[in-house]
Amino acid sequence: MSEYDLTDRPRRLRRDGVRDLVSETTVRASDLIAPVFVDATADERVPIDSMPGHERVPVEESVARVEEVLETGVEAVMLFGIPESKDAVGSGAWDEDGVVQRATRAVSAETDAYVLTDVCFCEYTEHGHCGVLEKGARSGGGLTVDNDATLANLTRTAVSHAAAGADMVAPSSMTDGMVGAIRSGLDRSGFEDVPVMSYAAKYQSAFYGPFRDAADGAPAFGDRRHYQMNPANAREAIREVRLDVEQGADVLMVKPALAYLDIVRAVREEFDHPVAAYNVSGEYAMLHAAAEKGWLDLEATAHESLLAIKRAGANLILTYWAETVAERL
């Protein structure tokens, strides 16, 4: 017997039958967005080695791929494109007949999926950076992304996605001013009702490794530290997010998720907008690698990851686990 009267026993509410009644957080299939990779250079589905269960699909297979997602109960997809060819500015990103535009037209015409599109250039530029490059004074002599020249291209890309039928556009290039530019471009083109989900606090993270294989968007030189956020900074994330809110962002995304749950929570507390978290490729791959060795239970750790992200304050989660977890719910 303990030294004092043990009246408060949290264990009482942990038994089956009651634990769900008192659970504070749930993961629902309708909270999840499944990433889908569409590859204009492929004529059959190509598995992505570092992301087991995921594949690049040809444009012609995009509807079938999205149908598979819908069957699990997940209702939303994020389309990423691998273009037929790349150039210096990433013009394939805003091509009316580009890979995402074609896939979006097909998927929105033939399925009930809610279609989000990634708006960025790293898959479309030869150099793999998220915009147009500039050399000179502002970049200290080296090559960097020309922020303001990139804005116009982001806007035309987002408008071309909306014109193809995208339900929401998601700019991920961390270009200053991107949300405002895209918002006014969409409005000028009659897409006032298409929301913008901003990758508002996107960090320069080593957890993106497998994605860069998947989408063929690794930078050919240097890294993204002059436009993506420094992992050391939390207060700066609030400043980043506030700028996007002021520019009209509808949904605020934090990326990555698991290593940045403090940021998810801070954004949740500071703003009233829906908060999204991107449970990125590295966070997916590492559980698979450990499970393959028999060190972790794959489905249990996947579900626990999503629960943690929701508990931190995210309303929606972009995750490679979407189908796996939804099927189990």
**CA angle, residues 54, 27, 51, in degrees to nearest 5:** 15
| 156 versus 212: smaller Cβ distance to ligand PBG | 212
- Candidates 104, 172, 247, 319: give the one binding ligand PBG (CB under 6 A): 172
Does residue 145 interact with ligand PBG by CB under 6 A?
no
User: What's the min distance (Å) between Cβ of 45 and ligand PBG?
Assistant: 19
Phi/psi region, residue 216 (left: phi>0; alpha: psi -120 to 50; beta: rest), is left
The amino acid present at 15, given as its one-letter code, is R
User: What's the min distance (Å) between Cβ of 70 and ligand PBG?
Assistant: 21
Task: Name 242's bridge partners.
Answer: none
Does residue 211 interact with ligand PBG by CB under 6 A?
yes
Does residue 122 interact with ligand PBG by CB under 6 A?
yes
| 213 versus 270: smaller Cβ distance to ligand PBG | 213
Eight-class DSSP state of 230: P
| 60 versus 209: smaller Cβ distance to ligand PBG | 209
Containing H/E element for 309?
helix 298-312
- Candidates 280, 308, 316, 326: give the one binding ligand PBG (CB under 6 A): 280
| 61 versus 283: smaller Cβ distance to ligand PBG | 283
| Contact code string over 214-253 relative to ligand PBG, x by CB under 6 A | ---x------x-----------------------------
**Chain centroid offset of residue 64 CA:** 21
| 50 versus 189: smaller Cβ distance to ligand PBG | 50
Cis? peptide before 256, omega within 30° of 0 = yes
State the residue for tokens 């793999």: 128
Containing H/E element for 213?
helix 209-215
Question: What is the SS3 assignment for 97-152?
Answer: CCHHHHHHHHHHHHCCCEEEEEECCCCCECCCCCCCEEECHHHCCCEEECHHHHHH
**Closest CA relative to residue 249, chosen from 297, 179, 175, 155:** 179
Instruction: Give the other-Cβ count within 10 Å of 206's Cβ.
Output: 11
For residues 15-54, which are near ligand PBG according to CB under 6 A? Answer: none
Joined tokens for residue 119: 């708006």
Does residue 120 interact with ligand PBG by CB under 6 A?
yes
Does residue 281 interact with ligand PBG by CB under 6 A?
yes
Question: Which stretches does DSSP call E strand in the chain?
Answer: 32-39, 46-47, 55-57, 76-82, 114-119, 133-135, 143-145, 168-171, 197-202, 251-255, 275-279, 316-319
The amino acid present at 312, given as its one-letter code, is A
Site residue total, ligand PBG (CB under 6 A): 13
Cα separation, 216 vs 120, in Å, equals: 13
User: What's the min distance (Å) between Cβ of 281 and ligand PBG?
Assistant: 3
- Candidates 61, 118, 167, 216: give the one binding ligand PBG (CB under 6 A): 118
| 24 versus 129: smaller Cβ distance to ligand PBG | 129
Helix axes 178-188 and 235-246, enclosed angle (nearest 10): 20
User: What's the min distance (Å) between Cβ of 10 and ligand PBG?
Assistant: 37
User: What's the min distance (Å) between Cβ of 118 and ligand PBG?
Assistant: 6
For residues 86-105, which are near ligand PBG according to CB under 6 A? Answer: none
- Candidates 130, 253, 287, 309: give the one binding ligand PBG (CB under 6 A): 130
Catalytic residues: 202, 255
Does residue 208 interact with ligand PBG by CB under 6 A?
yes
Residues that bind ligand PBG (CB under 6 A): 118, 120, 122, 130, 172-173, 208, 211-212, 217, 224, 280-281
